[in-house]
């Protein structure tokens, strides 16, 4: 067990090193002079040019640029945005809660619907219901979510006028940041509660529904399929027959004896899905103008704000590496069968 | 497994047949698009802006699925779009599968340090969410269809490496490999002639799934304005152009997305069916 943790940690260092190299080269691999590109081709002022070059860390030879770059990154200094002039890390943490709130809502939606669908399909294996659920989930799995989001807007916002089209909350509500989650901040802020009541909270929910639905569609499909196959494996086990033979009610047999044992692969998949939230965020946030890191990155790329791209990429990739590592550890800890065979 | 059994297994699977049908139709339409498309994809018709498709009021006989905001025939652009998407899918899969087979063979066959080194590259690439890595690659190389293909291919490599490596690892210990080795077969011969042919089943499945991933990612880049550039008739780019007309002309948004969904679903169904037919061990219940 301990060997496993040590080995995984040892593999982590080269991965992180590689990630830092990739983000280091982003700005340096642009064909031509990135400084001229940023300042515009129209004869930049030589003083400004040198300043910019120094700020981007491009003034020294390539080999001696990496060490200071890594040192700064380890201290949490990812440079400054060219557009807003603010620290990249500051901008990141400003936007991260919005993405996290959306991602958690999407996963919640996916789990609440996907897991029951998978369980029902497994119990009714081979039935029309099973065929219908699994076909639907494959359609969901193939869904181009950037299109799906637009279709949802078309149906629910434009067609029925039920939900807003974009943003996190109605613009006339001012929500001071406490946790960064609007669903929590609107409830725990006493002044806001006194003045507006629960209206801001419901406005935040209204804004969250469609993006969460769009973003949760692929995870829902993955979870439904995973739950089904995991349940099918468990349903054949002897202890299931024993539980039924004891005369336990079917619901109890399926949920307590079956589902609990089918849970480990499902949890692992949920962890992996959590890592894929960022992918979903980039597309979903662009469609719904959700002020999270996905929209931020796309905007930075369109504005050629290279320090932001560089820092954002490094941040997100490192985050995902650590999430994957935690899942590895977690599934080792939850699953006694994995614990015994080290590595 | 013989070819006959494979065909039998495959044709029993309804989903797989539907997938095969979708893919086959898309291929035929793509190949024949210059012949069957009623208009060239870039031809602009004056005074025919945003005409609705045949089933709505105000449709024009000339434009079966209507026209877009600058007066180009939607049906023709969608047909040519099938060409672009399948071309992208094909190149992405060819590139990523070649790299994946090469590195996966090396990692699985030699093991040890070679394996460790290659797997760290895989870890590194997997740390980037697929779309993000593609965006980064495009932001360095600049937007465009060819750069999109390279970017999406890089993203697709780790899957191929892992799949080839896993099957090579299970094959390399088998007796037939030992036998060939004792006859003095070289490493290269062992890898390519002995082991690789026995790793084809999961590889074929991944090729089909690689098409769907590749097409989807390329379309997403197109949608973000980083992929194929207008006026290329690429479905993701068409979708991005149509976004502004979501209220007034919903079909402009609906049609390209449906095409993407259909072709991705087709390849996914095909991949699932191939997995069930080729590899009983991997079979879903």
Res A178 pLDDT > 70 = yes
**Closest to B221 (Cα-Cα) out of B169, B120, B150, B127:** B150
pLDDT at residue number A343: 40
Entry pTM: 0.88
Shortest CA distance to A143 belongs to which of B53, B268, B71, B176?
Answer: B268
pLDDT, one tens digit per residue, over A70-114 is 888 888 888 888 778 888 888 988 899 999 999 999 999 999 999
| B265 has pLDDT over 60 | yes
Cβ–Cβ < 8 Å for B16, B72: no
Structure tokens given for A4: 């496993």
Instruction: pLDDT band for B92, please (50, 70, 90 cuts).
Output: very high
Overall average pLDDT of the A122-130 stretch? 90
CB-CB neighbors (< 8 A) of B260 in chain A: 144, 147
> Is 50 exceeded by the pLDDT of residue B284?
no
Lowest mean pLDDT among A250-259, A276-285, A288-297, B276-285: B276-285
Share the mean pLDDT of chain A. 84
- Collapse the DSSP code of A96 into the 3-class scheme (helix H, G, I; strand E, B; otherwise coil) and give the result: helix
Residues of chain B neighbouring A298 (CB-CB closer than 8 A): 135, 224
Residue B285 is predicted with a pLDDT of 39
Mean pLDDT of chain B: 87
Tell whether the model's pLDDT for residue B264 goes beyond 90.
yes
User: What is the rounded CA–CA span in Å between residue A164 and residue A154?
Assistant: 11
List Cβ<8 Å contacts ≥24 apart for B175-180: none
Which range has the worst mean pLDDT, A71-80, A127-136, A200-209? A71-80
Residue labelled with tokens 């006194």: A194
Contact A283 B131 (CB under 8 A): yes
Is A313's CB within 8 Å of B226's CB? no
* Residue B283 confidence (pLDDT): 47
Whole-number Å distance between alpha carbons of A187 and A194: 10
To the nearest whole Å, the CA of B196 is away from the closest chain A CA by: 27
Q: What is the 3-state secondary structure (H, E, C) of A293-331?
A: HHHHHHHHHHCCCHHHHHHHHHHHHHHHHHHHHHHHHHH
DSSP B44: P
Q: What is d(CA A125, CA A131) in angstroms, rounded to the nearest whole number?
A: 8
> Which chain B residue lies closest to A298 (C-alpha atoms)?
B224
For residue B67, list its beta bridge partners: B73
Residue A336 confidence (pLDDT) = 65
Residue % of chain B over a pLDDT of 70: 97
| pLDDT surpasses 80 at B47 | no
Is residue A338 very low, low, confident or very high in pLDDT (cuts 50, 70, 90)?
low
Range list of H helices, chain B = 3-12, 14-36, 74-110, 112-126, 130-141, 145-171, 175-182, 187-189, 200-223, 235-242, 250-278
Phi-psi region of B129 (alpha: psi -120 to 50; beta: other; left: phi over 0): beta
Domains of chain A plus CATH, in order, are 2-74 (no CATH), 95-338 (1.10.3720.10)
Domain boundaries B13-40+48-273, CATH class: mainly alpha
Which residue in chain A has the smallest CA separation from B238?
Answer: A147
Q: Judge: A29–B140 Cβ closer than 8 Å, yes or no.
A: yes
Q: Which residue does chain A place closest to B261, by CA atoms? A: A143
CB atoms near residue B90 (< 10 Å): 15
Of A1-5, B59-63, B142-146, give the range with the top mean pLDDT.
B142-146
Residue A164 has pLDDT above 80, yes or no: yes
B→A contacts (Cβ < 8 Å), by residue, are: 15, 119-121, 123-124, 126-132, 135-136, 139-140, 142, 212, 216, 219-220, 223-226, 236, 239, 243, 246-247, 250, 253-254, 256-257, 260-261, 264-265, 268-269, 272, 284-285
pLDDT tens figures, A206-248: 899 999 999 999 999 999 999 998 999 888 888 888 888 888 8
């Amino acid at each position: 067990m301990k060997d496993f943790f040590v080995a995984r940690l040892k593999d982590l260092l080269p991965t992180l090193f590689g990630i830092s190299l990739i983000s280091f080269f982003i700005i340096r691999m642009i064909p031509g002079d990135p400084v001229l590109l940023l300042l515009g081709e129209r004869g930049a002022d030589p003083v400004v040019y040198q300043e910019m070059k120094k700020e981007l860390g491009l003034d020294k030879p390539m080999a001696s640029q990496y060490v200071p770059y890594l040192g700064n990154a380890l201290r949490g200094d990812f440079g400054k945005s060219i557009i807003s002039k603010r620290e990249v890390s500051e901008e990141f943490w400003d936007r991260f809660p919005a993405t996290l709130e959306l991602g958690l809502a999407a996963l919640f939606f996916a789990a609440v619907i996907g897991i029951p669908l998978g369980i029902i399909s497994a119990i009714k294996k081979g039935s029309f219901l099973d065929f219908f659920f699994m076909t639907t989930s494959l359609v969901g799995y193939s869904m181009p979510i950037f299109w799906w989001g637009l279709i949802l807007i078309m149906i629910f916002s434009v067609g029925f006028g039920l939900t807003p089209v974009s943003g996190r909350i109605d613009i006339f509500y001012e929500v001071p940041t406490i946790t960064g989650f609007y669903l929590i901040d609107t409830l725990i802020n006493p002044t806001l509660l006194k003045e507006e009541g629960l209206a801001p909270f419901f406005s935040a929910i209204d804004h969250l529904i469609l993006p969460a639905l769009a973003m949760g569609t692929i995870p829902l499909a993955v979870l439904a399929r995973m739950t089904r196959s995991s349940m099918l494996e468990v349903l054949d086990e002897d202890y299931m027959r024993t539980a039924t033979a004891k005369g336990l009610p079917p619901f109890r047999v399926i949920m307590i004896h079956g589902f609990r044992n089918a849970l480990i692969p499902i949890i692992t998949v949920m962890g992996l899905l959590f890592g894929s939230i960022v992918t979903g965020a980039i597309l979903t946030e662009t469609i719904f103008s959700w002020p999270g890191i996905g929209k931020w990155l796309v905007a930075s790329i369109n504005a050629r704000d290279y320090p932001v791209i560089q820092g954002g990429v490094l941040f997100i990739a490192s985050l995902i590496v650590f999430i994957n590592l935690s899942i590895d550890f977690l599934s080792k800890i939850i699953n006694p069968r994995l614990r015994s065979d080290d590595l | 497994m013989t070819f006959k059994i494979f065909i039998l297994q495959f044709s029993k699977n309804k989903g797989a047949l539907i997938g095969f049908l979708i893919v086959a139709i898309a291929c035929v339409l793509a190949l024949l698009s210059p012949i069957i498309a009623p208009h060239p994809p870039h031809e602009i018709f004056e005074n025919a802006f945003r005409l609705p498709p045949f089933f709505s009021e105000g449709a024009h006989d000339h434009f079966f699925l209507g026209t877009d905001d600058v007066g180009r025939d939607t049906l023709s652009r969608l047909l040519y779009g099938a060409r672009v998407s399948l071309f992208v899918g094909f190149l992405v899969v060819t590139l990523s599968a070649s790299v994946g087979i090469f590195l996966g063979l090396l990692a699985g066959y030699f093991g040890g340090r070679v394996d460790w080194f290659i797997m760290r590259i895989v870890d590194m690439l997997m740390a980037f969410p697929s779309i993000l890595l593609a965006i980064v690659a495009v932001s360095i190389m600049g937007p465009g269809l060819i750069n999109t293909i390279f970017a999406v291919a890089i993203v697709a490599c780790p899957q191929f490496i892992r799949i080839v490596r896993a099957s090579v690892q299970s094959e390399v210990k088998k007796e037939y490999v030992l036998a060939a080795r004792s006859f003095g077969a070289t490493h290269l011969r062992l890898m390519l002639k002995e082991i690789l042919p026995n790793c084809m089943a999961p590889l074929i499945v991944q090729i089909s799934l690689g098409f769907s991933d590749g097409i989807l990612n390329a379309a997403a880049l197109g949608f973000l304005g980083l992929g194929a550039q207008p006026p290329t008739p690429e479905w993701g780019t068409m979708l991005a152009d149509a976004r502004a007309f979501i209220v007034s002309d919903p079909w402009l948004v609906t049609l390209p997305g449906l095409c993407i969904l259909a072709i991705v679903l087709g390849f996914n169904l095909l991949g699932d069916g191939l997995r069930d037919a080729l590899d009983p061990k991997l079979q879903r219940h």
